[in-house]
Amino acid sequence: MAMDSRRKPTYSTAMTILLVVVVILSATCIITALHIDRRTLGALNSRESVLLWGLMVILLGVLLTVALLFRRLNRNLRQLRHFVRAADEGREMDELPPFAADELGEISKHIVNLYLRIRRTTEDLQHEHTMALHQEQEKIRIKRQLTNNINHELKTPVSSIRGYLETILSNPDMDATTRTEFLQKSYAQCERLRVLLRDVATITRMDEASSMYTLEEVDLRRIVDDIAADIALLPAERRMRVNISMPDNVPVVGNATLLTSVFRNLTDNSIAYSGGRDIYILMTSQTPTHYNFRVADNGIGVDERHIEHLFERFYRVDKGRSRKEGGTGLGLAIVKNAVLFHGGTIEVRNRREGGLEFLFSIARNPKAKQTE
C-alpha cells in the first residue's frame, strides 16, 4: 500500500526538516558568539581570543559539511524512491538518474543491478515457459492433424479392399480372370496400407523417440549405389538414369535406415512425379563437420506456389496422381526430419534448366555436435 504523503512525511521532507534544524543551531551558535560579553572578551588574552574564534570557524565548517552530507544523503534517498516507483510500475531503468558517488550510492547501484538481473532472469524464464508451452501446443496440433490425416488416408484403401472382397464373395460364379484381377487390386491396396503404416511409424518415432535410433558408421556412397542398382531394375517405362558424383567413400556416424530413406524418398519422388529421364546425386562440397548434397532431376518441376509446402505432412501437389502412384504424402516430411536428425538443413527449388532440386547437408557426426 502506498504511503499517504499528507499523513506521513516523506524522506525528502524529513531531510529538509533536519537540514533546517542544523541551520538554526548554526545560526544560534554564531549569534551567541557575537553577543559574548565584551568584558569576557576583554579578559581573554589575544591567544585565547584567536583560539575561540578558531573553534567557531571549525564549528561552522563542521555544520556546513554535515549540511552537504545530508543533502547528498537526501539525493540518494530520492533516487532510491524513484527506482522503487519505476520498479513497481514496471518501467525501464534506463531513465533512472545516477546515484551520488559515495557508500550509499554504491550500495544503491548494487541493489539496482541485482534487481535488473533478477528481472532479466524472470523474463528469460517466462519466455522459455512460453516457448515450451507453444511447442507443446504445436506438438498436440501436429498429432491431432496426423491422426486426422491417417484416418482419411486409411479410408480409401480399406474401402477398396472391402469392396473387392465383397464382390468376390457375393459372386461365387465369377470367372477366374476377374477374380484374379480383383485380388491383385486388393493386394495393391494392402501394399499401399503397409507403406503408409511404415511411413507413419517412421515419422512418429522421429517425433516421439528419436533418441532410440541407434547410430553407427555408415557409408553414404554405398547407400546411393544400392539405390541406383534398384532403379536400374525397374521397368523401362519407370526407369531413370542415375548420375552420381560422389567420392568412393563418404563415411558418417548416423542411422542407416533414416539415411537410406533420405536418398530413396528423393529418388522415388523424381521417378513418380518428375516426368524426367535423369536423376543427379552430387556431393557439392564438404566441411570439417558436414557434407553438402544436391539431388535433382530434369523433369517438369513444381509450380512455385507448392514449393513452400512440399515438406508438409500429407501435402500433395496432385492428389489423384499421388495416390495412383502409391505415395503416402509423408516421403518428403520423412526426408526433412531425417536430415534434421542428422544435424543438417534442407531446401528445395526449381532448377533453371527444368526439374526440381533438393539441397541438403548431413553432419559427419551429429552426436558429437550435440555433445559440444
pLDDT at 4: 43
Structural contact between residues 317 and 325, judged by C-beta atoms closer than 8 angstroms: no
- Tens digit of each residue's pLDDT (9 = 90 or more) over 9-22: 444 455 555 556 66
| CATH 3.30.420.40 at 133-211, yes or no | no
pLDDT at position 58 is: 75
Q: Exposed/middle/buried for 266, CB within 10 Å: 0-12, 13-18, 19+?
A: buried
User: What are the cell numbers at 185?
Assistant: 487390386
How confident is the model over 157-210, as pLDDT tens digits? Answer: 888 889 989 999 999 889 999 999 999 989 888 888 888 888 888 888 887 777
| Sequence-ordered strand ranges (E) for the chain | 216-219, 241-245, 251-254, 278-286, 290-297, 346-350, 356-363
pLDDT in tens, 212-234: 888 999 999 999 999 999 999 99
**For the chain, which residues make up each domain, given as ranges?**
133-211, 213-372
Which CATH number describes the domain made up of 213-372?
3.30.565.10
**Mean pLDDT, to the nearest integer, of 55-65?**
71
Residue 152, pLDDT > 70, answer no
Q: What is the mean pLDDT of residues 76-104?
A: 67
Q: Residues 271-280: what's their mean pLDDT?
A: 92
Confidence of residue 350 (pLDDT cuts 50, 70, 90): very high
Q: Which residue has the higher pLDDT, 327 or 173?
A: 173
Q: Are 294 and 358 in contact (CB under 8 A)?
A: yes
Cell of 191: 501394399
pLDDT surpassing 50 at residue 91: yes
**Average pLDDT over the chain, rounded to an integer:** 79
Percent pLDDT > 90 in the chain is 33
* Residue 70 pLDDT exceeds 60: yes
What local confidence, expressed as pLDDT, does residue 6 receive? Answer: 42
pLDDT, residue 96, reads 61
Strand pairing category for 251-254 and 241-245: unpaired
Share of the chain above pLDDT 70, in %: 69
Can you read off the three cell numbers belonging to residue 338?
531425417
Listing DSSP states for 117-144 in one string gives HHHHHHHHHHHHHHHHHHHHHHHHHHHH
Mean pLDDT of the region 266-275: 91
3-class DSSP assignment, residue 244: strand
List pLDDT tens digits, range 168-179.
999 988 999 999
Residue 359: per-residue pLDDT: 96
Q: For 20-53, how does the pLDDT look when each residue is reduced to its tens digit (9 = 90+)? A: 666 666 666 655 555 555 545 555 556 656 666 6
Averaged over 73-98, what is the pLDDT?
A: 68
**Residue 26: what pLDDT?**
62
The pLDDT assigned to 3 comes to 41
As a whole number of angstroms, the distance between CA 300 and CA 243 comes to 18
Q: In this model, does residue 252 exceed pLDDT 90?
A: yes
